[in-house]
Structure 1
């Protein structure tokens, strides 16, 4: 038995070293997830035979950070596609079916809008429900990695919230800022971005509830990490407002230059 344990210690150290090295090259979150599932299966099996596998689970927590990074890169592309394909116009609602579909995707309630006859319009453009839905998909993707890792609800909740904060404050924030700073962005688009980010900011409390329902950890728990989504959307809104101010000043300057032009010159 002593020889087998010694052999296992040697095999374990070599296995973890190899897995650390090769997993670091993996840029596909689905492959990282598959790797994690295989490691968990391997660890649980060996643990059943009485071998210590703490090193494997510790390594999985390291791989979780890498998994989170691959998810962030993937969702950066998702957000870019959503923002690039948006028409930055209020969503038209021709009938009740479309209305129910949108409010099913995004938590929006407006008594005045509900009373209006069809056709009508939501105040935000399509990127609002799409972005909101993708944030939830990201949370689900984070949750997948925590399965079978023997983590407490608090640890899972903390992991999801930290990853989601990175998604909001880094990934989504950068995507929004890039759209706002585009040279060809118009005033109507900027105004729509302000409206959109206002509604997304209001939806952050629903994301809090969404995570709470998944992890069963109340948001007012001492160790609970708060979501910083409101900051992301406020910053984007302020950036859009500054861009509008800059654009208007440029238009005024151009107009004044025309006023000074000597139209009667030969």
Structure 2
């Protein structure tokens, strides 16, 4: 940045000559220039939607600030600006990952993950912290209860945390402060971005009862994995495990809310389907006595309910709607 060279020269003149410039003059000149620099950076950074470009801007500001600080200029306002830009950076990351999550959900088949052998099983559990003693005892081939979107979502949450960490580096903050910033960013990803994607997914017309049941199972496993995300952040920030964190991950509420929404949607769709059977049926309600034959419509309804309740048996906990 040309401003760096200018003030380096000014500092050199200050120390190499006598009476030509004064510290008060250079400080006044620096404060005036700094105000204009911050105004320009704040304006242009607010229009940037590419997280990589925002990250490049941050790196340039850090180099500029560190250099000028080495020559005795006050750069606190620049680092305050970096925290403003960091919020902008996180917003661009959230928008980027919203698209990532939507694509994952669109490509999911909402069926349990099949594993043919030990190698495939290890491939899945290496990407997602899944442990189930009963399933581990089963012979191959076998199926894991969650669908393919679960390990993909878990990996992308970790990738988001890595991306968020890139901005926190070189900001001269302690590991505890960086850890807290990462947790706040992860909370926004879980409670706003991922939660919104899940709620939109559940309401999509093509998502049927089978898919909704699988979503309930998926969110149960993602909820259980939140403790591993907590440990992941602690490990990459090198914070002591004994540290009492001021910020916790809110993933539990995100996945519980999604699960409740899916359960409510199942109840709605189930009632709508039953109503459709009743409306289509041509029942003879005034029949004096039974002719010994069940209505074909009624048999279709019973078969539908039988197959639907069979799907519900895959739920990890007793489904409360069945008691309604």
Q: TM-score, normalised by structure 2?
A: 0.78
The CA deviation at 1:81 is: 0.5
Which digits, 9 at most, give the CA deviation of each residue in 1:227-252, with x for residues without a partner?
Answer: 11011101111111111111111111
Which digits, 9 at most, give the CA deviation of each residue in 1:1-56, with x for residues without a partner?
Answer: 33222221111111111100100000111110110001000111111111111111
Count how many residue pairs are aligned between Structure 1 and Structure 2. Answer: 263
Counterpart mapping for 1:139-218 below 5 A:
139-217=161-239
Which digits, 9 at most, give the CA deviation of each residue in 1:162-209, with x for residues without a partner?
Answer: 111110011000100111001121111001000000000000111111
The CA deviation at 1:258 is: 3.1
Specify the alignment match of 1:85 in structure 2.
107
SS of the aligned residue for 1:39 comes to: helix
Specify the alignment match of 2:133 in structure 1.
111
SS of the aligned residue for 1:92 comes to: strand
Residues of 1 paired with 2:212 and 2:196: CA distance? 16
Structure 1 segments (4+ residues) deviating >4 Å: 218-223, 260-263
Which one of the candidate residues 121, 124, 134 is aligned to 2:146? 124
Specify the alignment match of 2:158 in structure 1.
136
SS of the aligned residue for 2:239 comes to: coil
Which one of the candidate residues 52, 57, 78 is aligned to 1:56? 78
SS of the aligned residue for 2:171 comes to: coil
Specify the alignment match of 2:62 in structure 1.
40
CA contact (8 A) 1:219 1:226 kept: no
Specify the alignment match of 1:242 in structure 2.
264
Residues of 2 paired with 1:223 and 1:125: CA distance? 32
Residues of 2 paired with 1:262 and 1:178: CA distance? 42
The CA deviation at 1:113 is: 1.4
Which digits, 9 at most, give the CA deviation of each residue in 1:76-97, with x for residues without a partner?
Answer: 0000000011110111111222
SS of the aligned residue for 2:88 comes to: helix
Structure 1, 5-14 or 98-107: larger mean CA deviation: 5-14
Higher relative contact order (CA closer than 8 Å, sequence separation 6+): 1
Residues of 1 paired with 2:245 and 2:106: CA distance? 38
CA contact (8 A) 1:208 1:219 kept: no
Cα separation, partners in 2 of 1:75 and 1:57, compared to 1, 3 Å: same
